[in-house]
Amino acid sequence: MIERGTIVVNPTGLHARPAVQFAACAKKYKSKIMIRQADGNPVNAKSIVMLLSCGLHLGDKAIIIAEGEDENEAADTLIKLIESGFGE
């Protein structure tokens, strides 16, 4: 199991469109993937509803937790997606 953090950089945070992109990307991996705010509870990163409930906004620290055979690749890719600002 690995845990990696990054800062949300897109101005509107993890709202509907980025949540759809994030969940779709997470679903490509076999690993169990969770996400949480620095002080929050982890939620299923493959669920759009759970991602929206996480309430990640601009400047928040997002922690990716991945466990499985492709955990490193999954975490790296998802961190890059957050750091890209989801193209916004």
Q: The CATH number of the domain where 23 resides is what?
A: 3.30.1340.10
Buried b (16+ CB within 10 A) or exposed e, 41-80: ebbbbbbbebbbebebeeebebbbbbeeeebeebbebbee
Q: How far apart are CA 75 and CA 33, in angstroms?
A: 8
pTM, two decimals, is 0.93
Residue range of the domain that includes 15: 2-87
Instruction: Please pick, among 15, 32, 57, 61, the residue that the annotation labels catalytic.
Output: 15
pLDDT single digits (tens) 55-83 = 999 999 999 999 999 999 999 999 999 99
Active site residue 15: yes
pLDDT single digits (tens) 1-49 = 999 999 999 998 999 999 999 999 999 999 999 999 988 999 999 999 9
